[in-house]
Amino acid sequence: MKIFYIIISSMLVNNFVLSRFLGICSFLGVSKKTDTAFGMGLAVTFVMALASFMSWIVFNLILVPLHLEYLYTLAFILVIAALVQFIEMVIQKTNPGLYKALGIYLPLITTNCAVLAVAVINMNENYNLLESVVNGVSAALGYFLAIVLLSGIRERIDNNKNMPEALKGFPITLITAGLMSIAFLGFQGLLQ
C-alpha cells in the first residue's frame, strides 16, 4: 500500500514540475515538440530510476556508516554525474538509435535539479531501496506526463493565428504551465 501511495503522490499530487517546480528549465526548454519532449521524458525516467538506486546505495552503505550524512549533496552530485556519463557511453555503443533519440538531453540531465531532488527526497523520507526506486520512477513519470502534455498544448498554441503578438512564445508558455499547475492542484485531495 505504501508503494501505491508513493506512486500516486510523486506522480500526480506532488508532481515534480507542476507542484514542486523542479526541472523547470528543461520543462520549458525542451517542450516545443512532442517527440523531443517524449525523448527528454524517457531520458529523465531512465536517469532518475538509476540515480535513486545508486544514491540510496551510496547514502545508506557509505555515508551513514561513516557518519558523513552532511556530505550528501556532494556525494549525490558525484554519483549522478558519473552515472549519466557512464550511461551515455553505454547507450552510444549498444544502441545508437536510442542515443540519437535522447541526443543532448542525457548530458543536460546531469545538471537537472529534479534528479538531485529525487535523491534528496528519498533520503529525507527514509525510503528503503525499493521505495526509493519506485519514487524515482514515478517522479520521473510525473515529469514525463507534464512535459508531454505541455508540448502537445504548445504545438497547438504555436499554430494559433489569433495569438496576440505580445504573448507569443514564452509568455503564453508560462501562462499555460501556470494553468497546468493549478489544474494539478486538483489531485491534492486524492490521498486523504
Report how many helices (DSSP H) and strands (DSSP E) the chain contains, helices first.
9, 0
Sign of CA dihedral 125, 130, 132, 135: negative
Residue 71 C-beta: closest distance to other proteins, Å: 6
Residue 82 grid coordinates:
558519473
Residue 89 C-beta: closest distance to other proteins, Å: 4
- Identify which of residues 17 and 58 has a Cβ nearer to other proteins in the complex: 58
- Identify which of residues 79 and 149 has a Cβ nearer to other proteins in the complex: 79
- Identify which of residues 75 and 148 has a Cβ nearer to other proteins in the complex: 75
- Identify which of residues 42 and 75 has a Cβ nearer to other proteins in the complex: 75
Reduce the DSSP state of residue 33 to 3 states and report it.
coil
Residue 101 C-beta: closest distance to other proteins, Å: 16
Which residues contribute to the site for other proteins (CB under 8 A)?
58, 62-63, 66-68, 71, 74-75, 78-79, 82, 85-86, 89-90, 92-94
Interatomic CA distance for residues 36 and 103, integer angstroms: 9
Residue 108 grid coordinates:
543536460
Interatomic CA distance for residues 159 and 170, integer angstroms: 14
Residue 66 C-beta: closest distance to other proteins, Å: 5
Residue 178 grid coordinates:
501556470
